[in-house]
Amino acid sequence: MHPLVAATPTPVHPLPRLAKALGLEPEQLWVKREDLTGLAGGGNKARKLQHFMSEALSGGYRVLVTGGGPQSNHARMTAAAAAMNGLGCVLVLRRPETEDLSGNLLLDRMLGAQIHWVDPIPFAALNQSIVDIAGAHTQKAYPIPIGGSSLPGAIAYAQVAQELSTQLTFDLVVVANGSGGTQAGLAAGLGDHARVAGVNVGAQDGIDAFVTDLAAQAAAALGLPTPNGAAQIDHGRIGLAYGVPTKECEEALLLVARTEGLLLDPVYTGKAMAGLIAWARHGRLDGKRVVFVHTGGLPGLLSTRYTQWMGAALVDS
Ligand SMILES: Cc1ncc(COP(=O)(O)O)c(C=O)c1O
């Protein structure tokens, strides 16, 4: 593990007051704090950056180049990893350029990243821009794909599943699924898809088969058996679209904040927790010990878009 990136192992602790509010026993509900990995606000992408950073440093690269949306958590964490290792950072972000300087974008700039705006182009084209911009850079520049799923990220989460298994005995983990790498890795590490419940946040289509395949690849890379079954993903929590918060997500953020003092984000962890809450209320978690994997994202809540949304929600709560 490289000493200059993620703060691991991350802690695990119970959520007894939330459990009680959901009609569960106090010892039934736990959280794995992947939001405490460091890197200017933390989150699941730190584990993957660990891998990319050691490749970049050993290859003598001077600049990291990555990209995503204006509120990308992965972009902000890459900017932090670059700063703490003395490298430059270019972030290739999709317009709107009018996005005001708040949330992750504010932190990107504070961390010294250079922002390269591009028109809203598809995922593959944006990944190609990252490669092109790195290739044209005056210094040796290391391209990192958008915070999407890749084998190193899934392998890192297979190792997180093993880390978690040394911390606690449990039946099920619940996690947000954006591009699927985190869920795939957890399933690979636990050896069984039935022990990982993913909640689709609507970032990408066709994630079911993708997660099952990626989990098999991650397991193979680590010499582990192919996980049993197929990816378990709840597709019912997206609402209107990726990034558009739902009423259930609003309830989840406020309930978790007020029972446990724990802050979730509106794009990923809030929708994942909305899934967990619905399953608890339908009796699907009865008799199980469940670990919610908090994958971070808090800086996004502090962007103007979401502070306005939450501000409006607080008027009637
Ligand atoms: C805070 C947060 N949680 C969860 C995810 C989803 O992770 P994955 O893409 O591995 O499904 C992301 C991805 O960007 C994220 O930023």
By most ligand atoms within 8 Å of CB, the mutation choice from 295, 301, 302, 303 for ligand 1 is: 295
What residue owns the CA closest to ligand 1's atom 6? 178
pLDDT score of 98? 65
What residue owns the CA closest to ligand 1's atom 13? 178
Residues 91 and 221 in one domain: no
pLDDT score of 148? 64
Residues 125 and 154 in one domain: no
Domain CATH number, residue 223: 3.40.50.1100
Tell me which residue range forms the domain holding 227. Answer: 12-41+149-315
Cα-based distances in Å from 313 to 240, 247, 251, 267, 309? 17, 9, 9, 16, 6
- HSE toward the beta carbon, residue 212, CA cutoff 13 A: 10
What residue owns the CA closest to ligand 1's atom 5? 178
Whether 74 lines ligand 1, by a CB cut-off of 6 Å, is yes
Residues 290 and 181 in one domain: yes
Whether 186 lines ligand 1, by a CB cut-off of 6 Å, is no
Residues 88 and 213 in one domain: no
Residues 99 and 216 in one domain: no
85 within some domain: yes
302 within some domain: yes
Mean pLDDT by 10 residues, the chain (317 residues): 73 98 97 96 93 93 96 96 96 83 96 95 91 97 86 95 98 96 97 98 92 97 98 98 96 98 98 98 97 98 96 89
Catalytic site positions:
72
Cα-based distances in Å from 132 to 92, 95, 119, 146? 11, 18, 15, 14
Residues 176 and 231 in one domain: yes
Residues 189 and 99 in one domain: no
* Total structural domains within the chain: 2
Residues 194 and 129 in one domain: no
Choose the final residue of a domain: 143, 167, 197: 143
pLDDT score of 172? 98
Which ligand 1 atom is nearest residue 153's CA? 10
Choose the final residue of a domain: 143, 163, 196: 143
Choose the final residue of a domain: 143, 162, 179: 143
Residues 247 and 202 in one domain: yes
Residues 293 and 177 in one domain: yes
